Amino acid sequence: MVEKVPAVEFRDVSKIYPKMKNAAVKHISFKIEKGDFCCLIGTSGSGKTTLMRMINRMNSVTKGEVLVDGKNVKSFNPVNLRRHIGYVIQNNGLMPHMTIRENIILVPKLLKWPKDKLAGEAQKLIKMAELPESYLDRYPTELSGGQQQRIGVVRALAANQNLILMDEPFGALDPITRESLQNLIQNLQVRLGKTIVFVTHDMDEALKLATKVVVLHDGQLIQVGTPDQILHHPANDYVKSLIGEERLSEAKYETVKVKNVMLTNPTKIDLGASLTDALTMMKEHRVDTLLVVDNGDHLKGYISIDDLQRNYPKASSVSDILITKLGTVGPEEYLRDNFSRIMSRNKSYIPVTDSDKKLVGIVTRASLVNVVYEKIWGDKSRLQNTSEKEAK
């Protein structure tokens, strides 16, 4: 088996700009696999652009190694390297004195593609940008900001580059245009299987687009993970604040697991116990049903006070009146997936069993109430906050 070579790898990379005391990025190591959509996120000045520009040698590497396709970038000719890595610069950077057509096919032209191929490429790309073909002969200033950014994005695809760097390509756009551009780039990425490194300071954007999120702060790597990992296990308060309270509490609710709310001391009785014992236990714990387990704590079923009373003199052991039909949930299951199932049962609780069928706890209706309360209470306090803001 051939080992998979990452598209980009940082090995203990630091960057100190000339005449600067402090490093702009410090000891960064992580990998970007082929086909990844990697978002670099952090507040302004956290080193996102600096880090990204080391990939195509727009910035030199002070310490450590940056590898592209497994080879140190220093071993490439910088001009050639840049022609084979798409780059969407912060603030689009279209050439103002060139038409859209000339702008789009600039890199293929630098690569000396034949003329007829160039014409076709321009038409293909303008379609990709979802703009009319007549725009090819316009100048950048004759396009709106959003249209210019579309061109900026497709321009980076012009020479079939497999690796594309994008530096806040959708900055300063209204949310609707932004979303349509996000969809555009996401479609292109999935359809064409590109590897994308994408700088943003918008966590929503990162969580939506990324397969891998890299959080930077003050030039340091704070966390690398999938959007799910970032959302559910933020490494520290900085990451939490990037995600935002609202998103965080939503995520919390989304990910409450059965084991987080279950009671771990259910009233249970041994399969071999007598009905007298059972009755005593029911009285002691003020319950009308008992879960029945064998001596290995495996759940066998339950008995109810109803059946006990009806069969009392005839039957003597718990196993005689055992009802084996009952639904269970696993401790690792998400509460949201089982919520209605638990609530709709006319029993007041549902037993929780692990993969060995061992009884580990129960979820009562009362514990569900707590969860719902928390969610609604959380919503309410948020609503109050926003209405207060509006009032001001």
Partner 1 sequence: MSRLSLWQQFIYYYVHNGSYVLEQFNRTFLISIYGVLFAAIIGIPVGIFISRNGHLGDFVVEIANFIQTIPSLALLSIVMIGLGLGVMTVIVTVTLYSLLPIIKNTYTGMSNVNKNVIDSGKGMGMTKLQLLYMVRLPLSMSVIIAGLKNALVIAIGITSIGSFVGAGGLGDIIIRGTNATNGSAIILAGALPTALMAILADVILNFLQKILQPKGLKKAN
Ligand X SMILES: Nc1ncnc2c1ncn2[C@@H]1O[C@H](COP(=O)(O)OP(=O)(O)OP(=O)(O)O)[C@@H](O)[C@H]1O
Give the three-state DSSP class for 330.
coil
x/- letters, 142..161, toward partner 1 (CB under 8 A): x-------------------
Name which of 84 and 382 has its Cβ closer to partner 1: 84
What's the min distance (Å) between Cβ of 125 and partner 1? Answer: 14
Give the three-state DSSP class for 181.
helix
User: Which member of 24, 215, 242, 292 binds ligand X (CB under 6 A)?
Assistant: 24
Name which of 166 and 230 has its Cβ closer to partner 1: 166
What's the min distance (Å) between Cβ of 153 and partner 1? Answer: 13
Q: Which stretch binds ligand X (CB under 6 A): 45-53, 80-88, 117-125, 275-283?
A: 45-53
Place of tokens 């066998």: 300
User: Which member of 16, 58, 271, 322 binds partner 1 (CB under 8 A)?
Assistant: 58
Closest C-alpha among 314, 291, 318 to residue 302: 291
Residue 47 binds ligand X (CB under 6 A) = yes
Residue 352: strand pairing partners: 329, 361
Residue 49 binds ligand X (CB under 6 A) = yes
Name which of 206 and 329 has its Cβ closer to Mg ion: 206
Residue 36, C-beta contacts closer than 8 angstroms, at least 6 positions apart = 7, 195, 196, 211, 212
Find the radius of gyration of the CA atoms of the chain: 30
User: Which member of 89, 118, 322, 326 binds partner 1 (CB under 8 A)?
Assistant: 89
**Helices 365-391, 335-344: crossing angle, 10 deg rounding:** 120
Q: Which stretch binds Mg ion (CB under 5 A): 42-50, 239-247, 294-302, 358-366?
A: 42-50
x/- letters, 182..201, toward ligand X (CB under 6 A): -------------------x
Give the three-state DSSP class for 189.
helix
Residue 263 binds partner 1 (CB under 8 A) = no
Give the three-state DSSP class for 388.
helix
Phi and psi at 185, nearest 5°, equal -70, -35
**What percent helix, strand, coil does the chain show, rounded to 5?**
45, 25, 35
What's the min distance (Å) between Cβ of 164 and partner 1? Answer: 12
User: Which member of 18, 96, 175, 296 binds partner 1 (CB under 8 A)?
Assistant: 96
Which of positions 116-175 make contact with ligand X (CB under 6 A)? none
Residue type at position 118: L
Which of positions 112-141 make contact with partner 1 (CB under 8 A)? 139-141
For residue 251, what are its two tokens?
Answer: 């995520």
Distance CA 345, CA 275 (A): 26
Q: What angle do CA 298, 348, 335 make, to 5 degrees?
A: 75
Residue 83 binds partner 1 (CB under 8 A) = yes
Place of tokens 């293909």: 124
Residue 17 interacting entry, from ligand X, partner 1, Mg ion, none, C-beta within 5 to 8 Å by type: ligand X
User: Which member of 50, 56, 289, 364 binds partner 1 (CB under 8 A)?
Assistant: 56
Distance CA 86, CA 103 (A): 13
Residue 101 binds partner 1 (CB under 8 A) = no
Residue 176 interacting entry, from partner 1, Mg ion, ligand X, none, C-beta within 5 to 8 Å by type: none
What's the min distance (Å) between Cβ of 52 and Mg ion? Answer: 8
**Helices 175-192, 145-155: crossing angle, 10 deg rounding:** 10
Name which of 59 and 367 has its Cβ closer to ligand X: 59
For residue 322, what are its two tokens?
Answer: 């055992």
Question: Which positions lie near ligand X, rule CB under 6 A?
Answer: 17, 20, 24, 42, 44-50, 201
